[in-house]
């Protein structure tokens, strides 16, 4: 496998550490990113830089993408300088972006027409999971193709689960984001309640994070909120994108998800506060404002 030519498009918060795991495992990686500055450290590690997705695709056998929004993914694959303009016959395309299930199906259908394979494999675990190499990967596509890619997933992932046909990985990621949306509002309201009740928040978290309320958001995001740390492991802007996809897919299936709709509106209010680049734990700020709480410093009691 290590003699295969790997291409990677998207070297931001998630992609950058994922590529580093591949390089450190002995793989040679071709890279492209819209902003070359975000790939300089990877180039210095020995990665080969390509100016366009098409040029990278022409030199790669396994092509990974983990980029921004659905329109970015569509342009990366179908644009004038996109992957489908430069691919090698028999290549495997793997999109790890969280995007529309319908777009994953569209890419898979085009791949089938031109003699390449496609897998949708969105991830969960945020930047910390990417850095630590323990991402959860939700995979859709042909099982025999997924099996070929598993050795690469194992370099930066810990929990790889095959979900079914193309698009199933993206639908599973929507389930993941809907769950996070619901649990995070509970975490934030618990902290607000704790402040009002005069509790030491770190002591309170020590108790509830080990009981029935235990979850990733309590373990990772709640301590950040207590410290007033709203730096992004996953940004508000990206989370709004995901929640929008979830609501659009739910509408297409004639589902009503009122909790998800509420959380999206709260996140839109955070964007209106000019904090779209903050981490998604900034949900606390919107709820704090609604609750008429005192300043952020009150958290550190």
pLDDT in tens, 151-187: 999 999 999 999 999 999 999 999 999 999 999 999 9
For 6-166, give the CATH class.
Answer: alpha beta
The string of DSSP letters for 154-194 reads HHHEEEEEEEESTTHHHHHHHHHHHHHHHHHHHHHHHHHHH
Residues carrying CATH 1.10.1040.10, the chain: 171-296
Residues carrying CATH 3.40.50.720, the chain: 6-166
Q: Does the annotation count 5 as an active-site position?
A: no
Indicate the CATH number for domain 171-296: 1.10.1040.10
More confident residue, 68 or 6: 6
Q: Report how far residue 153's alpha carbon sits from residue 261's, in angstroms, rounded to the nearest whole number.
A: 33
Q: Residue 218 in contact with residue 208, Cβ under 8 Å?
A: yes
Q: Which of 20, 173, 264, 275 is catalytic?
A: 173
Confidence of residue 2 (pLDDT cuts 50, 70, 90): confident
**Three-state SS string across 106-150, please?**
HHHHHHHHHCCEEEECCEECHHHHHHHCCEEEEEECCHHHHHHHH
Share of the chain above pLDDT 70, in %: 97
Q: Report how far residue 194's alpha carbon sits from residue 213's, in angstroms, rounded to the nearest whole number.
A: 15
Q: Report how far residue 126's alpha carbon sits from residue 265's, in angstroms, rounded to the nearest whole number.
A: 22
Quick one: which H or E segment has residue 256?
Answer: none
Q: Residue 180 in contact with residue 188, Cβ under 8 Å?
A: no
Average pLDDT over every residue of 46-51: 97
For the cut 70, the answer to whether the pLDDT of residue 113 exceeds it is yes
Quote the pLDDT of residue 296: 52
The string of DSSP letters for 191-207 reads HHHHHHTT--HHHHHHH
Q: Residue 67 in contact with residue 41, Cβ under 8 Å?
A: no
For the cut 90, the answer to whether the pLDDT of residue 243 exceeds it is yes
Token match 């983990």: residue? 66
Quote the pLDDT of residue 297: 45
């Amino acid at each position: 496998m290590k003699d295969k030519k790997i291409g990677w498009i998207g070297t931001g918060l998630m992609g950058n550490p994922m590529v580093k795991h591949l390089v450190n495992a002995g793989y040679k990686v071709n890279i492209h990113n819209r902003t070359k500055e975000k790939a300089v450290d990877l180039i210095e590690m020995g990665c080969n830089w390509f100016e366009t997705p098409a040029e990278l695709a022409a030199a790669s056998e396994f092509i990974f993408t983990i980029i921004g929004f659905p329109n970015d993914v569509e342009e990366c694959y179908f644009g004038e300088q996109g992957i489908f303009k430069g691919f090698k016959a028999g290549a495997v395309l793997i999109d790890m972006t969280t995007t529309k299930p319908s777009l994953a199906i569209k890419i898979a259908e085009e791949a089938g027409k031109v003699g390449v394979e496609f897998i949708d494999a969105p991830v969960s675990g945020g930047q910390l999971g990417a850095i630590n190499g323990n991402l959860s990967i939700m995979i859709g596509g042909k099982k025999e193709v997924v099996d070929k890619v598993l050795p690469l997933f194992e370099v930066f992932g810990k929990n790889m689960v095959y979900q079914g046909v193309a698009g199933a990985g993206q639908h599973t990621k929507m389930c993941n984001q809907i769950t996070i949306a619901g649990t995070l509002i509970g975490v934030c309201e618990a902290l607000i309640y704790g402040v009002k009740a005069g509790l030491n928040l770190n002591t309170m978290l020590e108790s509830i994070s080990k009981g029935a309320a235990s979850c990733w958001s309590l373990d990772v995001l709640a301590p950040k909120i207590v410290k007033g740390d709203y730096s992004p492991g996953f940004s508000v802007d990206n989370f709004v994108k995901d929640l929008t996809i979830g609501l659009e897919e739910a509408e297409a299936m004639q589902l009503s998800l009122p909790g998800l709709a509420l959380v999206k509106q709260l996140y839109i209010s955070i964007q209106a506060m000019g904090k779209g680049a903050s981490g998604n734990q900034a949900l606390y700020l919107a709820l704090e404002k609604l609750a008429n709480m005192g300043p952020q410093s009150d958290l550190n009691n």
